[in-house]
Amino acid sequence: MRAQDLLITPMGALFAGRRLPCTLGRTGTIPADAKREGDGASPQGVHRIVGMLYRADRLAAPAAWAVPIGPRDLWSDDSRDPFYNQKVRAPHAFSHEVLRRADRLYDLVLLTDWNTPDATPGRGSAIFLHRWRGPCHPTAGCVAFAPADLLWLCRRLRLGTRLILRRG
């Protein structure tokens, strides 16, 4: 492990000498080769941070490489979609997640390279790092943090930072 890696365990995240509480998927962590769309699991392994999205109407860009979330931005989670596991725009005929949510869950999102750039249908879409609903509230497979901790991370992480998700 390198000093600039973000290590995620069920006991929390370690980065830059700090331990941050976080939540994982509702069914825990699983080996990456067992990950499936909708299973609620966080895939173990080494992933990379490949992007950052933020709500410009709610906060300032935390890093120069952050991209604003537009009102029509979505994320495809339908394995039949030719744009599966990619950012798409409304209207979109396939199943998707709305990125510009009414709640604050996706006000700030770090994108990982899980099942990209050439997505395998059914292997699972979008392992994000985003705001949590609260301590001990699991995600659908993403990694979630308290808002202040997520902002702290986003100001320090770089494109390509390794996200190491350990077995729980």
User: Mind giving me the DSSP string for 41-100?
Assistant: -EEPEEEEEEEEEE-TTTS--SSTT-EEPPTTEEEE--TTSTTTTSEEESS-SS-EEESS
Residue 133 inside a domain? The answer is yes
Tell me the chain's radius of gyration from C-alpha atoms. 15
Length of the chain: 168
What pLDDT is attached to residue 150? 98
**Domains identified in the chain, total number:** 1
Q: Which pLDDT tens digits describe the chain residue by residue (168 residues)? A: 787 999 998 789 999 999 999 999 999 999 999 999 999 999 999 999 999 999 999 999 999 999 999 999 999 999 999 999 999 999 999 999 999 999 999 999 999 999 999 999 999 999 999 999 999 999 999 999 999 999 999 999 999 999 999 886
The gap from C-alpha 104 to its chain's centroid, in whole angstroms, comes to 14
CA distance 55 to 40: 25
Residue 116 inside a domain? The answer is yes
Residue 1 inside a domain? The answer is no
What letter would DSSP give residue 120?
Answer: P
Pull the structure tokens for residue 145. Answer: 């943090």
What pLDDT is attached to residue 168? 64
Residue 50 inside a domain? The answer is yes
Residue 131 inside a domain? The answer is yes
By the 10 Å C-beta count (0-12 exposed, 13-18 middle, 19+ buried), 21 is classed as middle
What letter would DSSP give residue 127?
Answer: -
Domain of residue 56, CATH code: 2.40.440
Provide the residue type at 65 as one letter.
Answer: W
Domain that holds residue 121: 6-165
- The Cβ of residue 91 has, within 10 Å, a number of other Cβ atoms equal to 7
* Predicted structure pTM score: 0.96
Residue 72 inside a domain? The answer is yes
What pLDDT is attached to residue 11? 83
